Amino acid sequence: MHRRHLFGLLGPGLAAVASATDENDSVASNQATADALDEDLAGAILTIDLVAIQENWRRLRAAAAGAECGAAVKANAYGLGMMPVARALFDAGCRTFFVARPREGERLRSRLSDATIYVLDGFFAGEPGHFEMHRLRPALISLDEARGWAAFCRKIGRRLPCALHVDTGINRLGFDLDEFAHLTDDEATMADLPVALLMSHLACSDESGHPMNPRQLVAFEQVRARLPRVPASLANSSGIFLGEDFTMDLVRPGLALYGGHPGHGATNPMRPVVRLEGVVMQVRTVAAGETVGYGATWQASRESRIALLGAGYKDGIPRRFSSEPGRPSAEVALDGLRCPVVGRISMDMMAVDVTEVPVGRVRQGTRMEIVGDTITLEEAASRAGTISYELLARLGSRFARAYIGAATGG
């Protein structure tokens, strides 16, 4: 087989990156590494279309009714590689980024010197210098954090921007409404608290008719009334499609950037971004009555050809993707033809029934689609008993990764 390295798939300035030992940031390398896996040495190949990510950002910006469109690139850009993804988004015009943890912000700052970067999980106690050094903006979530940030600003004699994250009903991180009112009445603290953004998070935005959406909107409008000149952000990917009342000044899409369905309408308005292919390691013939895999949970009803693909639960393929008696089997595809997964997903591999595929079409080295044009991200997640967010974020470190398409501006 011709050894076509992943490096050749990249546009200028972007590198193909090996699957490596650091799952959190191995794809953040600034250049192709000498030990980068090429396609012939990998059990599975994950292809990430940066042009599609850019186009999805433009579509979301257009849908945002004039609001600025930021990007959530936390969790290593939902598993797709924060550094190349953020660079592509910046080149498309995105200027505001959201990460979860300070270290994520630090890594992102090393690539994007001019971006605005918010850290969603709050002001980590004892780390104000880290935020200052890397020009990160904490999304403050409590009165104690607000007072601590204001005190730090007083100490260094600089008004460092921050966000205030108010909980309006999801009951996760954030000020409750009474605590937020107390903060805004505290003139001494507010005098040293340069608030650049008010934000909250919707609990049910993927269900357009859910009563939580208008309830949270009313609560957030009460929040805005206390700081009317501060830009406000409420909408995530799904929230963008709830209408202009929800988009406000800044939207924070995540999943939809990466091709996930924002949850409104039968048709996904976003371009697909990822293609995950398992490489066939062996094709074997199983006689009728024989079983496949741990637990002998699948038994051949006829003589069957079984392909073993090099992707398992270590690679982020959920074990629930296994076939189980009494429920429809998950599937993979080859040239649009669907093939059922059989038996249990194991650590390093999965088994697929390819009996219906023409003999000779499947052999060692053949790629089969686990996620792509035929098996959508949402379908694969549903068959695994999970959601597309989790499936993306857990994509494994052992894949050979290819980034196709250069950042093009615009």
Q: How many CB atoms lie within 10 A of CB 211?
A: 9
According to DSSP, residue 271 is labeled: P
CA–CA distance, 163 with 249 (Å, rounded to integer)? 13
Q: In what order do the strands lie in the sheet with 71-72?
A: 71-72, 96-99, 116-119, 136-140, 162-165, 195-199, 232-233
Paired residues of 131 in beta bridges: none
Residues 6+ apart with CB under 8 A from 254: 71, 72, 74, 78, 98, 236, 237, 389
Q: In which residue are the tokens 């008010």 written?
A: 198
Distance CA(51)–CA(30), nearest Å, equals 19
CA distances from 327 to 36, 286, 341, 374 (A): 39, 22, 12, 20
Instruction: Single out the residue of 121, 402, 188, 127 nearest to residue 276, CA to CA.
Output: 402
Angle at 155 between CA 153 and CA 158, to 5 degrees: 40
DSSP string over 203-225: SSTTSTT-THHHHHHHHHHHHHH
In sequence order, what are the beta bridge partners of 72? 98
Catalytic residue annotation:
74, 294
The pair of structure tokens assigned to 103 is 């270290």
Task: For residue 322, report the phi and psi dihedrals to the nearest 5 degrees.
Answer: -60, 155
Residue 272 burial (C-beta neighbours within 10 Å; 0-12, 13-18, 19+): middle
Cα–Cα distance, 50 to 48 (Å, whole number): 6
